Chain A
Amino acid sequence: MFYATLEGLRRFKIPHKFEFVSIISLYAQWIREGRLNVDSSWNSDGLKFTVQDPCKLVRQGLGDAVAEDLRYVIKKVAGEENFIDVWPRLSNNYCCGGGGGALQAGFVENRRKYGKLKFDQLAATGADVVITPCHNCHTQVLDICDFYGGKWKTTHLWNWLEKALIIDGSAGRAGKD
């Protein structure tokens, strides 16, 4: 939806008065502004995090800025030292191999073969958690992890954001008075 609308407006030069923002960039903005307070102290075990840059969101969508925001939020949530980046990264990151209908269309063997590169890349980081902000990537990364015997957990960002959230009653909740 997000990418299709964005690209449609861009390609056909349709005038519009709104802008496209990912919730990730808003998290990052709110954390920077101090409106969303997070603390990585929950991660006393030092769980290591890495990341998947979804093609539609980053390379084809909003560019490297959103991917940098994603890393910023993860580092805030899990601790600076607990983030291990992949290579190649940002716009140059590998495709998960599950897009273009591959997850739905039934070519399982092919899809997993494409996903091997992604698996090797993620496994090389040694991370315990892979953050995938795209539902499609999530399903694929989950599947290749399982299929090729990976050890990591595949999750969205908010699962961990919620762990790190500090709700300070005196400041009130974000967005409310």
Chain B
Amino acid sequence: MSTPKGSVLIVGGGIAGVQAALDLADSGFYVHLVEKSSAIGGSMSQLDKTFPTNDCSACILSPKLVECGRHLNINLLTLSEVLSIEGEPGSFRVKVRENPRYVDVDKCIACGSCAEKCPKKVPNEFDLGLGKRKAIYLRYPQAVPLKYAIDPEHCIYLKKPGRCGFCEKVCPADAINFKDTAREHDLHVGSVILALGFRPFDPSRLDFTGYGQFKNVVTSMEFERLLSPSGPCLGHMERPSDHQEPRKIAWLQCIGSRDINKACHGYCSSVCCMYAIKQAVIAKEHSESGDVDATIFFMDMRTHGKGFEAYYNRARDEGIDFKRARVHTILPAANDNLKVRFAGEDGKIAEDEFDLVVLSVGLETDPQVMRLAHELGIELDSDSFAATSCFRPVETSRKGIFVCGALAEPKDIPQSVMEASAAALEAERILHPARWTETRKKEFPPERDVHAEPPRIGVFVCSCGINIASVVDVQAVTDYAWTLPGVVFAQNNLFTCSQDTINQMAEIIKRERLNRVVVASCTPRTHEPLFQETLREAGINKFLFEMANIRDQDSWVHQDEPDAATLKAKDLVRMAVAKVRGDEPLPYNSVPVTKSALVIGAGVAGLTAALSLADQGFPVTLVERKDRLGGHARKFFRTWQGQEVQSYLQELAGMVEANANIDVHLGTTVEDVSGSVGQFRTMLSDGTEVKHGAAIVAVGAESFKPRQGRWNYLYGKNPNVHTLLELDQRFIKDDPGLKGLNQAVFIHCVGSRVPERPYCSRVCCTHAIDQAIHLKEMNPDMDIFMLYRDIRTYGKREHLYQKARSLGIVFIRYDLDNLPRVSETSGRLVVEVKDPIIDAEVTLHPDLLILASAVRPRDDVGELSKLFKCAMTSDGFLLEAHMKLRPVDFATDGVYLAGLCHYPKPVEETIAQAKAAASRAGLVLSRDAVPAESITAVVNAQKCTGCSVCTKVCAYHAVNMDANSQKAVVDTGLCKGCGACVAGCRSDAITLKNLGNEQIMAAVEAAMEDF
């Protein structure tokens, strides 16, 4: 292959596509991000809250979208679709059609005047048709790009030129372009990532649900919009028929999932159990009456992810009713209510009435996506998801084209984010010789030294079209700004953020020799970086800037009180001026990077991560406490897809050993760690000191061995009682003793989902069922009984469960109040259990009793987490920086995690996570230096009494006591500027730069000033 292209095409602008784009663009590649709708954000932007943290979806997603939209090295192609892809890894020719937006994105300032005047109302697809939008519209309030678009299907002018055209008349920015046409782009890229997502299953083909016939039967996605503050009822939960708040809500699980009859989707959609619980919890919280009865009808409760089981338990404690039943009939009742008929666990028919029924619809591939996959030569599996294999979880059937997110299998957000980073890594692996060849870098002029100058403050007051000016008297605010001390220039702009005003602002800064700038406008959330960049372009330090939020926090919320709003705007401007007067230029801190990595743990996760980095030319030190490579995987027989693990592991270990970039230290542990991102120094137990820029923790977990106590079940006492891994080892050896057996019993959840280990171990259901199938295939006449609590064969693993049942394997459910009892009579095992279906005690005499025992965290993981300043969960697993959107990062920069030390997971997820961790580490290693926080804490040594409170409150371990002086010192490389130490200091010795008493008090005093 000749030198590859240094750019990547990503198709799909949901969270997976966005994450992959950011990873690639930040590590030296140019990204074209193609999205078919008018804004990126995907399905996640439609969600209200996210499980299990109940974070507001838009709030955690928006910063990523904004970053993506502003990124110099991401080319956003919205309203676009891929027509063809030709070529091979390293060099693909891609044709993309960009459909007309009819709005000039360079001019549109998203004031909304056009939509206000547009006479054409159409159902809003973002709200799944529950609300209305105009023919010219913004996909959603936080849309990126924040630009309107005209829907040609409904626009009166486009359908009949000469009619209407109101938007063109009212647009103050002259942004409407009815003559806009589709454009074709020919892109030349090195690799392609498909992140095309899913569509919610359409339940109208399941007529028994009454969906589409009864108003108060809605899908879960519709319910998300009903809950959402940006949805059709503005966050006041209402049911469609009468806009009243529902008091009694039912959720029906597995609508379009685990249904091989009418829905034709045999797989489990993995996410619906959790989102239904979340919706029930949030519905209770949202309700104004505080009185909502929530019932969830389910088959198996699948809360198999990190923090999920605790969420489930909490929901039950809060009174959410979980009913194990698959509802077969929904009947209309009085008041547009719904009568739900179902067979209870006792087999008796029961009925209940609800105000609202929510169908927990599954995930499926959009037929348009299927067609595209077909045209691109991407193989889909029998469920119409992109075909991948356990050992290559993000690779499609076409070389150089990768997949992430729900396109490959239904999955939740963290798993999608993980795969996005993993897919980015695969692209980097091919394209690393071309790193930084196609990216652009912003150059700024040298900065003027303003230290000796008296403050010369410029104030720019924005009208934001009419957004601010229709409420606030912007001229009065501008005139007022002139009167403030230090202000030498003030101006009112129609749109301060428009390109021409930005250019003008830079000129004014130079001409007037301004050394401080205040912009009074919309919100720093979206616009602060833009204005700060303008300061740099004009040659002054970007921290000599303040923003007064006179739109989001003033004109928008005080529409009915223009006089008071004008007064408030003056207050805000006065405060900003007072604060900026004391602001000082701050350094753009950075830390030089040691371009090598440390990987701790040489199981599948560690080996994969090490190889992923070494293949890109980064030297890796791989540390393993045992004396051989392979970790836990050495005990595994096969993946759920049937691939043998041992041969794969040998190949993987062989590649690691043969790789000149990997320095393996066996029988070695980590003793001490110092330094921070870019410059770690780690002492190993063999005396080696390793300098590295990033670290990946992949130390694995252990299997729980129930040698005594409640979960013992004669383990270690009767030779025929095994754990799953012990049976796997007999499979690996092809033990002849397993032939000719008559009966086997598996007990699930041994030591998982119990008070002392309240989490679900995620892997055991699938593993146990696969083993049962293997035994049954070896001995077709054998009787096999699975004693389970909930079967959690999520995603496509559900097919294994179906196969097990069709082979005649018997599933008997038990619960914690009714545990199976194991005894022996003259060496023969006896298992007694109550079968709730036949309502009778069953006695079994197995030749083999298999305990699906828990995966438990390693006891010594706490020591390691302390060395790297990482947090742990209450269960003892390592805690990532953010459960949803940063699943492989630690809060400590430059340290990443992968594999079982994060949470129990099967090998395909471990591999994806390890690759994701390598991708994230690559963000650091691909740079000569990494930026560090500029707003950092400073210690006034004269005031410091050496009490060391600051060192204890710092979450980032950035404050330490100087051994000689016994005064606090701040490591600016580690400091995040959070201010915890400032608040903690009892001697007033620590301040934050530009957020010190001086500046804050100046702003506060200005606020109090009577004028």
Task: Decide whether A and B are members of one complex.
Answer: yes
Chain A residues within an 8 Å CB radius of B116: none
Type the 1/0 row for A76-111, where 1 means its CB is closer than 8 Å to any CB of B.
000000000001111110000000000000000000
Q: Mark B226-238 against chain A: 1 for CB-CB distance below 8 A, else 0.
A: 0000000000000
Is B331 touching A91 in the complex (CB atoms < 8 A)? no
- Beta-carbon nearest neighbor of B262 in chain A: A91
CB distance from B462 to the nearest CB of A (A): 58
Residues in B whose Cβ lies below 8 Å from that of A88:
208, 329, 331
Contact between A87 and B331, CB atoms less than 8 A apart: yes
For A64, list chain B residues within 8 Å (CB): 207
Q: Which residues of chain B are within 8 angstroms of A92 by Cβ–Cβ distance?
A: 207-208, 329
Please report whether the interface of chain A is mostly helix, strand, loop or mixed according to DSSP: helix
With a cutoff of 8 Å between Cβ atoms, the chain A residues found around residue B876 in the complex are none
Is B332 touching A87 in the complex (CB atoms < 8 A)?
yes
Residues 53 to 72 of chain A near chain B (Cβ within 8 Å): 64
Collect the chain B residues with CB atoms within 8 Å of residue A91's CB.
Answer: 207
A87 to B331, alpha carbons, bound, how many Å?
Answer: 7
Which of B206-260 touch A at CB < 8 Å?
207-208, 210
8 Å CB interface, B303-359 against A? 329, 331-332
Q: Are A90 and B331 in contact (CB under 8 A)?
A: no
Q: How many residues of B contact A (CB 8 A)?
A: 6
Chain A residue with Cβ nearest B207? A92
Interface centre among A64, A89, A92 (most CB of B within 10 A): A92
Docked Cα-Cα span, A87 to B217, in Å, equals: 15
- Kindly state the separation between the CA atoms of A91 and B329 in the bound complex, as whole angstroms: 11
Task: List, in ascending order, chain B residues with CB within 8 A of A87's CB.
Answer: 210, 331-332
- CA–CA, A94 to B329, complex, Å? 10
Question: Which residue in chain A gives the minimum CB-CB distance to B208?
Answer: A92
- In the assembled complex, the CB of A117 is this many whole angstroms from the nearest CB of chain B, namely 9
Tell me the complex Cα distance, A109–B86, Å.
Answer: 72
Query: Which chain B residues lie closer than 8 Å to A89 at the CB level?
Result: 207
| Chain A interface residue count, Cβ-Cβ cutoff 8 angstroms | 7
Interface 0/1 of B504-535, CB less than 8 Å to A: 00000000000000000000000000000000
A145–B331 CA distance with the chains assembled, in angstroms: 22
Closest Cβ–Cβ distance, residue A55 to chain B (whole Å): 14
Q: Mark A110-128, 1 if CB is under 8 A from B, else 0.
A: 0000000000000000000
What residues on A are CB-neighbors of B332 within 8 Å? 87
User: In the bound complex, how far is the Cα of B211 from the Cα of A92, in angstroms?
Assistant: 14
Instruction: Please name all residues of chain A whose beta carbon is closer than 8 Å to the beta carbon of B210 when the two chains form the complex.
Output: 87
Bound CA–CA A42/B210 (angstroms): 34
Residues of chain A with a CB closer than 8 A to B208's CB = 88, 92
Minimum distance in angstroms from B328 CB to a CB of chain A = 8
A48 to B331, CA, bound (A): 21
Q: Can you list, as one digit per residue, whether each of A26-69 has a CB less than 8 Å from chain B (1) or not (0)?
A: 00000000000000000000000000000000000000100000
Contacts of B329 in A (CB 8 A): 88, 92
Report how far A89 CA is from B214 CA in the complex, Å.
Answer: 14
Q: Could you tell me the distance between the alpha carbons of A73 and B207 in the complex, rounded to whole angstroms?
A: 22
Nearest-neighbour CB distance to chain A for B964, whole angstroms, equals 82
Cα of A31 to Cα of B188 in the assembled complex, Å: 61
Query: In the complex the two chains form, what is the Cα distance from A95 to B356 in whole Å?
Result: 27
Give the residues from 267 to 302 in chain B that come closer than 8 angstroms, CB to CB, to chain A. none
Give the residue name and chain of the B residue nearest to A121 (CB). B331
B328 closest partner in A (C-beta): A92
Hey, what's the 0/1 contact readout for B858-884 against A, CB within 8 Å counting as 1? 000000000000000000000000000
| Least CB separation from A94: chain B residue | B329
CB B351 to nearest CB in A, in angstroms, measures 11
Closest to B209 in A: A92
Bound-complex Cα distance A32 to B263 (A): 31
CB distance from B851 to the nearest CB of A (A): 41
Shortest Cβ gap from B720 to chain A (Å): 42
Give the Cβ gap from A86 to chain B, nearest Cβ, in Å.
10
Residues on B with beta carbons closer than 8 Å to the beta carbon of A90: 207
Bound CA–CA A90/B205 (angstroms): 13
A92 to B205, CA, bound (A): 12
CA distance A91 to B207 in the complex (A): 9
Task: Report A126 CB to chain B, min CB distance, Å.
Answer: 15
Shortest CB-to-CB span from B217 to chain A, Å, is 13
Residues of the A chain whose Cβ atoms lie less than 8 Å from the Cβ of B331: 87-88
Q: How far, in whole Å, are A175 and B332 apart by their CA atoms in the complex?
A: 44
- Complex Cα distance, B329 from A50, in Å, reads 20
Measured between alpha carbons, how far is A88 from B210 in the docked complex, in Å?
9
Nearest chain B CB to A53 CB, angstrom units? 12
Name the residue on A nearest B214 (C-beta): A87
- Closest chain A residue to B332, Cβ basis: A87
Q: How far is the CA of A92 from the CA of B331 in the complex (A)?
A: 11
B884 to chain A, nearest CB (A): 39
Give A88 to B330 CA distance when docked, in angstroms: 8
The CA of A90 and the CA of B207, in the complex, are separated in Å by 9
Q: How far is the CB of A70 from chain B (nearest CB, A)?
A: 16
Q: Which residue of B lies closest to A88 (CB)?
A: B329
State A118–B329 Cα separation when bound (angstroms). Answer: 14
* Complex alpha-carbon distance, A64 and B208, angstroms: 13
With A and B bound together, what is the CA distance between A89 and B331 in angstroms?
Answer: 10
How distant is A51 from chain B, measured CB to nearest CB, in Å? Answer: 16
Q: From B331, which residue of chain A is reached at the shortest CB distance?
A: A87
State the CA gap A91–B331 with chains docked (Å).
14
How many angstroms from the CA of A64 to the CA of B329 in the assembled complex?
A: 17
CA distance A18 to B896 in the complex (A): 66
- Complex CA gap A88/B208 in Å reads 7
Once the chains are docked, how many angstroms separate the CA of A90 from the CA of B210? 12
Distance A157 CA – B993 CA, assembled complex (angstroms): 88
CB distance from A128 to the nearest CB of B (A): 21
Q: How far is the CB of B359 from chain A (nearest CB, A)?
A: 15
Q: How many whole Å from B341's CB to the nearest CB in chain A?
A: 9
B255 to chain A, nearest CB (A): 15
What is the CB-to-nearest-CB distance from B526 to chain A, in angstroms, rounded to a whole number? Answer: 50
| A residues 121-157 touching B (CB-CB < 8 Å) | none
CA–CA, A7 and B321, complex, Å: 41
Could you tell me which B residues sit within 8 Å of A by CB distance?
207-208, 210, 329, 331-332
Residues of A within 8 A of B (CB): 64, 87-92
- The 4 lowest CB-CB distance pairs between A and B, nearest first, are A92-B208, A88-B329, A87-B331, A87-B332
Additional pairs, 5, CB under 8 Å, beyond known A87-B332, A90-B207, A92-B329: A64-B207, A87-B210, A88-B329, A88-B331, A91-B207
Offer 6 A-B interface pairs, CB within 8 angstroms, sorted by A.
A64-B207, A87-B210, A88-B331, A90-B207, A91-B207, A92-B208
